[in-house]
Amino acid sequence: MIGAVLLLLPLGLVQGGGRCVLNRTEERCVCRRLAEDSVDSIVQCLPASVVEFWGGDLQRYAALPIGDLQPSAIDMLESLSIRKLVFGDLLVPEELLARVLKFFSYTQVQELVFESCAFVGSSDWADMDGQDLPVRTLRLHNVTSAPLTGREQGFSSLRRWLGSLQELVLTRSRLSALPCAVGRLFSTLRSLDLAHNGLADSGLAAAFCQGAFPRLRALSLQSNHLLSFHGVCQSLQLLPELQQLDISRNNLTAGLASSCQWQMSLRSLNLSDTGLDEVLTPLPPNLEVLDMSCNHLRTLDISLGSLKMLLLSQNMLQDVSFLRNCPMLEVLYLDDNLISELPWDELQLLQHLRDVAAAGNPYNCSCSGAGGIQRLAATGHLGPAWPRDYVCHSPPRYQRVLVKDVSVSVLQCNSAAVIAPICVLLAVLCVAGAVCLARAKHRLPQACRRAAKGA
């Protein structure tokens, strides 16, 4: 018990009148503005697997002497079931963190989160030299700290731990540069989320230098200051295992035709809301997921033989002729475009299609137009907006009618199909009649009646 309090106290103890509340169903314990006189309430957090500390200032503990732990304290830490620790709205002296972090090696904490925290001062992290921690996921959201540049040497004391980290989230923290040497410490990192920062094209190349993040599979650069698709391709060339890339919400330009080839490992690319008015080339050849929603695309010239998911909602596309180049499609979103027709003979070829959304388009409900969508709906693969948001814009007599309600009976839509058999029938009757007349003259009335009936 004392051990737990020892560990949590310098991190969680802050002035105020707060206390900890445990939710047993969620196994989650939330402490707000913990005060010295209510610190006992930390004890009720002991059975929790998630413990959160919100609010306060740890600065007055920065100089607290923290020696080695007693064996009983270590036993206690080892018996804790805490898997995730969250620190929010706190001022965290880096010096204090550097000294306390090593005690995490006695716990089973796998995920460490700092949200809306300010790291103050700086440390050489010497206490962490050669120290491994069970923490595999580190999340930092809306944090501030002294710039990373120039502190590479200090961070190298964290090499052992950072080298075992699997997932790093560093979002909304005004990051504009990530030194090359820092990236090299994350030698087994699989997933890196740098969304909502200030990374520009130039900073990107430096961050992903030779040897940085060598095992990275998923990278998000959503909402940064990237401008060049070609530049991003060039900067990420040294990530040999990259599978998922999110560069949505940047203002990208196609630039000049580029010779940069994406790595073959890339399976998923998110280009949504990037201001595109044409498709950027070249696209990674083995893509399975491509999101180009919320752009200004009018036409789409792609040919991606492995593509399974294509998201194109909120563009200005007028037709779907590109579908014939994506035979493996399973998921297709086309909501809010300018598409007037979804031809059944194109859709029919997509044998793996299982999820389609195409609401909010100005459909032409002439027979073939409405028919294609109705047949698609009949397969059961059309999303929840069917039939409500599938509305005809033309021809005039169907304006604002639901596509579902357009009659595509054979008689109305394919008069040739009905009229031709009727003509044939009439012709046969005429012939039969003529034969009858002829036969009557030869006095063979009975046979004649039978022939007429047969026709």
Ligand X SMILES: *[C@@H]1O[C@H](CO)[C@@H](O)[C@H](O)[C@H]1NC(C)=O
Find the binder of ligand X among 251, 303, 321, 348 (CB under 6 A). 251
Q: In the chain, count H helices and then E strands.
A: 13, 18
- Considering only residues 207 to 226 of the shown chain, the ones binding ligand X according to CB under 6 A are 222, 225
| DSSP secondary structure string for all residues of 407-441 | ---HHHH-HHHHHHHHHHHHHHHHHHHHHHHHHHH
What CA–CA distance (Å, rounded) separates 118 from 206?
Answer: 25
- Considering only residues 28 to 67 of the shown chain, the ones binding ligand X according to CB under 6 A are none
- Considering only residues 93 to 112 of the shown chain, the ones binding ligand X according to CB under 6 A are none
Report in angstroms how near the CB of residue 311 gets to ligand X at its nearest.
6
Amino acid at 82: I
What CA–CA distance (Å, rounded) separates 236 from 230?
Answer: 10
Report in angstroms how near the CB of residue 366 gets to ligand X at its nearest.
4
Find the binder of ligand X among 52, 94, 288, 291 (CB under 6 A). 291
104 vs 114 by CB, closer to ligand X: 114
Find the binder of ligand X among 26, 36, 40, 405 (CB under 6 A). 26
156 binds ligand X (CB under 6 A): no
Report in angstroms how near the CB of residue 233 gets to ligand X at its nearest.
18
263 vs 268 by CB, closer to ligand X: 268
399 binds ligand X (CB under 6 A): no
23 binds ligand X (CB under 6 A): yes
- Of 127-135, 201-209, 242-250, 314-322: span binding ligand X (CB under 6 A): 242-250
- Of 296-304, 321-329, 360-368, 443-451: span binding ligand X (CB under 6 A): 360-368
Report in angstroms how near the CB of residue 451 gets to ligand X at its nearest.
43
Contacts of 123 (CB under 8 A, 6+ apart): 94, 95, 97, 98, 154
What CA–CA distance (Å, rounded) separates 177 from 196?
Answer: 13
Tell me which residue of 259, 206, 257, 275 sits closest to 236, measured CA to CA. Answer: 206
What CA–CA distance (Å, rounded) separates 71 from 389?
Answer: 67
Amino acid at 427: A
Find the binder of ligand X among 94, 95, 193, 273 (CB under 6 A). 273
Contacts of 53 (CB under 8 A, 6+ apart): 8, 11, 12, 31, 34, 85, 86, 87, 88, 90
- Of 33-41, 101-109, 243-251, 439-447: span binding ligand X (CB under 6 A): 243-251
Contact 370, 408 (CB under 8 A): yes
Report in angstroms how near the CB of residue 241 gets to ligand X at its nearest.
19
25 vs 446 by CB, closer to ligand X: 25
- Of 23-31, 99-107, 353-361, 437-445: span binding ligand X (CB under 6 A): 23-31
Tell me which residue of 378, 377, 367 sits closest to 418, measured CA to CA. Answer: 367
289 binds ligand X (CB under 6 A): yes
Contact 163, 136 (CB under 8 A): no
| DSSP secondary structure string for all residues of 363-406 | EE-SHHHHHHHHHHHHTT-B-TTTTTT-BEEESGGGTT-BGGG-
Q: Total number of residues binding ligand X (CB under 6 A)?
A: 24
Tell me which residue of 187, 132, 120, 128 sits closest to 155, measured CA to CA. Answer: 128
249 binds ligand X (CB under 6 A): yes
95 vs 115 by CB, closer to ligand X: 115
Report in angstroms how near the CB of residue 209 gets to ligand X at its nearest.
24
76 vs 392 by CB, closer to ligand X: 392
Binding-residue pattern over the window 114 to 133 for ligand X, x denoting contact by CB under 6 A = --x-x---------------
Report in angstroms how near the CB of residue 46 gets to ligand X at its nearest.
17
240 vs 395 by CB, closer to ligand X: 395
Report in angstroms how near the CB of residue 300 gets to ligand X at its nearest.
17
Q: Given CA atoms 43, 46, 47, 51 in this order, what sign does their dihedral have?
A: positive
215 vs 393 by CB, closer to ligand X: 393
Residue 14 has what DSSP assignment?
Answer: -
Find the binder of ligand X among 246, 288, 335, 336 (CB under 6 A). 246
Beta bridge partners of 304: none
Report in angstroms how near the CB of residue 308 gets to ligand X at its nearest.
11
What CA–CA distance (Å, rounded) separates 183 from 206?
Answer: 10
Report in angstroms how near the CB of residue 249 gets to ligand X at its nearest.
5
Report in angstroms how near the CB of residue 362 gets to ligand X at its nearest.
9
* 373-374-380 Cα angle (round to 5): 95
Tell me which residue of 190, 142, 138, 125 sits closest to 169, measured CA to CA. Answer: 138
Binding residues vs ligand X (CB under 6 A): 23, 25-26, 116, 118, 142, 222, 225, 246, 248-249, 251, 270, 272-273, 289, 291, 311, 340, 364, 366, 368-369, 394
